[in-house]
């Protein structure tokens, strides 16, 4: 990600400036500047300052910073959205990514400022483990913010994965911890034979219902309230899908959930794990390593390697998984394994 050489400390400087870049983006997003430019077109510094009720000096600096990041374009003394901002940072657009930016800015960013505390304590720092059992117990507003963030992160990934994952032999898929249906909707659109149950906490299912109605998929996608930590998974599905779920939890909880998936599936049923996989030698890659550290700040989990998942799957009674590489903003690999019949020790070829 950052080029490090012994010729110059420039790579280290770029790392130091990383928080500055994020805050420049986050504040512009908080001020709804990208939506403003989408609605009104390019504007001068004075026009933006008057709209915000701010002085020209800081507004010009904020706009220039976002232009330097490639998010705004400057023409004839005006600022307007660059194509990437128009595609992903305008509220109301299908691929809007702002939910994730808002979550990181409002919930995670201050926690990263306490990373040393998280390392020393081996505890998350964005919530109090002594006061609540998991990161997902929260007030309704925070639940909406978190699910909006997960939806923003998953929309693009779901579209990519729906295009490369062959679900033509699946009839009923259970999306465990499926949030507000980013994957369920894309899978249903791509596979007209598929019925999908999205299994998540009751408060999340209320939000998911609106997305299902919006997509006009009520006949094939349903939200099923439940807690996979304390209950068995619903049965009657031939495929269990786990996307960006296992990295939230400790190994014993991951292994327990995989055993629950095994019990819920009939022999021959499939489990599909979608994650940012850490390299087996723990050298990276950058996005998986940083997401793993984010799990330290925000959850009790971490990002795991393909080898770790493979061992847990075999232990739970699945075949050795096939790995399907993908390139999305939130995942780099799918692990696909089959539920073996009781006593069957045959392993599929990886």
Asked if residues 154 and 182 have their Cβ atoms less than 8 Å apart, the reply is yes
149 by Cβ neighbours in 10 Å (0-12 / 13-18 / 19+) ranks as: buried
Catalytic residue among 29, 151, 247, 262: 247
Residue 203 tokens read as 């408060």
Question: 151 catalytic, yes or no?
Answer: no
What three-state secondary structure class fits 220? coil
Asked if residues 262 and 247 have their Cβ atoms less than 8 Å apart, the reply is no
What three-state secondary structure class fits 334? strand
Residue 315 tokens read as 């232990």
What three-state secondary structure class fits 165? coil
CA 197 to chain centre: 19
Strand bridging mode 239-243 / 172-176: parallel
Q: How many CB atoms lie within 10 A of CB 231?
A: 10
Asked if residues 252 and 220 have their Cβ atoms less than 8 Å apart, the reply is no
Catalytic residue numbers? 247
């Amino acid at each position: 990600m950052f080029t490090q050489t012994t010729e110059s400390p420039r790579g280290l400087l770029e790392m130091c400036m990383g928080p500055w870049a994020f805050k420049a983006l986050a504040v512009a997003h908080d001020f709804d500047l990208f939506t403003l430019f989408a609605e009104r077109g390019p504007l001068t510094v004075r026009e933006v300052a008057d709209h915000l009720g701010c002085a020209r000096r800081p507004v010009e600096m904020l706009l220039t910073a976002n232009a330097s990041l490639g998010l705004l374009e400057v023409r004839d003394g005006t600022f307007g959205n660059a194509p990437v901002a128009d595609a992903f940072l305008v509220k109301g657009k299908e691929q809007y990514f702002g939910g994730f930016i808002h979550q990181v800015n409002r919930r995670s960013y201050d926690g990263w400022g306490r990373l040393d505390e998280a390392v020393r304590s081996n505890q998350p720092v964005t919530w109090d483990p002594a006061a609540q059992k998991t990161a997902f117990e929260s007030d309704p507003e925070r639940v909406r913010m978190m699910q909006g963030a997960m939806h923003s992160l998953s929309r693009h990934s779901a579209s990519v994965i729906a295009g490369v994952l062959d679900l033509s032999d699946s009839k009923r898929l259970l999306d465990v911890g499926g949030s507000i249906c980013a994957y369920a909707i894309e899978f249903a659109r791509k596979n007209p034979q598929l019925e999908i149950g999205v299994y998540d906490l009751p408060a999340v299912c209320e939000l998911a219902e609106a997305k299902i109605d919006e997509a006009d998929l009520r006949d094939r996608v349903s939200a099923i309230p439940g807690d996979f930590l304390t209950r068995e998974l619903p049965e009657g599905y031939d495929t269990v899908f786990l996307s960006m779920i296992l990295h939230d939890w400790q190994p014993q909880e991951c292994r327990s959930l995989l055993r629950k998936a095994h019990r819920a599936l009939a022999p021959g049923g499939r489990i599909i794990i979608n994650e940012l996989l850490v390299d087996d030698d723990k050298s990276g890659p950058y996005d998986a390593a940083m997401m793993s550290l984010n799990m330290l700040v925000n959850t009790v989990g971490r990002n795991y390697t393909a080898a770790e998942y493979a061992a847990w799957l075999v232990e739970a009674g699945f075949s050795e998984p096939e790995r399907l590489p993908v390139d999305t903003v939130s995942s780099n690999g799918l692990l696909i394994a089959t539920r073996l019949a009781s006593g069957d020790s045959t392993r599929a070829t990886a």
